Amino acid sequence: MEGMAKTSTTTQGLRAAIERSGYYPALVAEAVEAAVGGEPIRSYLVHQETTFDQNEVRRHVTVLVLTGNRFIVSHTDEQAADTTSPTPYATTSTESVKLGRISSVVVSRVVANPESYAPGTLPREVMLTIGWGAVSRIDLEPAACGDPNCDADHGYTGNSTADDLSLRVSEAGDGPETVRQALAFAQSLSEATAAL
């Protein structure tokens, strides 16, 4: 990330987190640098995840960055050789969203032994869902009335949920520092969108 200001502690922390992930750090850093440009970084989260797809192991990394004006998402996936490429390859994409477009920041926390929960205790798991209107999920079901003998068509009822990004981190899988970073990032993003 040569183009980013080297004096920024937050920028250096992001660079170090991308390096620690060990997941194509030069590729990921270049994509993030291009998306951030010269803006100072207010907060970030780097999350690497391993998934199992039939009989192969696949890794991917998501980098979330908050600047003064934008929320940036960078996602990199690796792919095995296939009919389109005789060698393995990676795909990196970035999306830049103006903070004013963010419509929801949902933080779900899973805590063990809630009856003895003490404030400040780290959750076992955190699910961060951020919506800005690019992707919505619609869940529909047939509508009904209270009459069990009614056979009229009452149409459908359902919910539309903003579901642009969902990220799950856990203490067991990602470590306590990643859980702390996810909570800190969510708080920074919530505060930034509330200030608009």
Instruction: Encode pLDDT of 86-106 as tens digits.
Output: 999 999 999 999 999 999 999
Find the range with the poorest average confidence among 53-62, 75-84, 164-173.
Answer: 53-62
The pLDDT of 44-60, averaged and rounded, is 83
The pLDDT of 124-143, averaged and rounded, is 83
Residue 1: pLDDT above 50? no
Q: What is the pTM of this model?
A: 0.82
Would you place residue 136 in the very low, low, confident or very high pLDDT band (cuts 50, 70, 90)?
low
Q: Distance from CA of residue 92 to its chain's centroid? A: 15
Output the 3-class SS for 71-111: EEEEEEEEECCECCECCCEEEEEEEEEEHHHCCEEEEEEEC
Residue 3: pLDDT above 50? no
- Which residues are CB-neighbours of 157 under 8 A, at least 6 positions away? 140, 141, 142, 143
Q: DSSP states of 139-160 as a string?
A: EEEE---S-TT------EEEEE
82 backbone φψ class: left, alpha, beta (φ>0; ψ -120 to 50): beta
* H/E element, 130: strand 125-131
pLDDT at residue number 124: 97
Q: Which of 1, 167, 173, 178 is nearest to 71 (CA)?
A: 167
pLDDT digits (tens, 9 = 90+) for 153-182: 888 887 766 568 999 999 999 999 999 999
Cβ proximity of 71 and 45 under 8 Å: no
Longest distance between any two alpha carbons in the chain, whole Å: 72
The pLDDT of 54-72, averaged and rounded, is 90
Would you place residue 72 in the very low, low, confident or very high pLDDT band (cuts 50, 70, 90)?
very high
Q: Distance from CA of residue 70 to its chain's centroid? A: 15
